[in-house]
Structure 1
Amino acid sequence: MRDYPTLTDREWQAVSTALSVADRQGCAAARPAGRFWRVLRGILGSRRSPAPADPRLEAIRSFVCEARRSRRVPEQQVPQLIAEGFNRDQAIALAMLAA
């Protein structure tokens, strides 16, 4: 029998936040802004929500956002998840949730 990947309640909350409609702006904010948006932010100020203080939760959020954007497992971010204590099966499961 195979062990299924498990996440803590806080980690599931990070996943659900990254997948929610409200966080689509948060996912977009992770990508570099174009010139127009940089100028507009300079004039109006930034409304970015602060990143999670826990690097493990930020790794989840970033991975899920990239998986959602690319519609595949973001292989370049798997080592970061593994460094935060996740395994490859958990990374694949997160990517499948984001698809």
Structure 2
Amino acid sequence: MTKAEIITEISTKTGIEKIDVQETVEAFFKVVKTSMVSGENVYVRGFGSFVVKKRAKKTARNISKNTAIIIPEHFVPSFKPAKTFVEKVKTGNKTKSK
């Protein structure tokens, strides 16, 4: 499902104008992004957590040149779904719609 399809479905189900739904969805994503860039985690009860994970410095190999390279410590975004969300997906009706 695309973002446009999500906006349309929310608009249809709630009766809120599409433009208002789009602004709200965009604002949510902006808050999540800016929070994670500043190192804060975002918790949405019943849905999941958007967390910043720290990756340690490590040595890797460049196979083509057979040399070692250092990958510095860095941070990556991650999503951990809530237990209730995972259970709903496990027990839900799954059909491919492509």
The TM-score range, normalised by the shorter chain, is: under 0.3
Greater relative contact order (CA < 8 Å, ≥ 6 in sequence): 1
Task: Answer with 1 or 2: which has the greater Rg.
Answer: 2
Normalised to the residue count of structure 1, the TM-score between the two structures is 0.25
Normalised to the residue count of structure 2, the TM-score between the two structures is 0.25
Task: Name the structure where strand makes up a greater proportion of residues.
Answer: 2
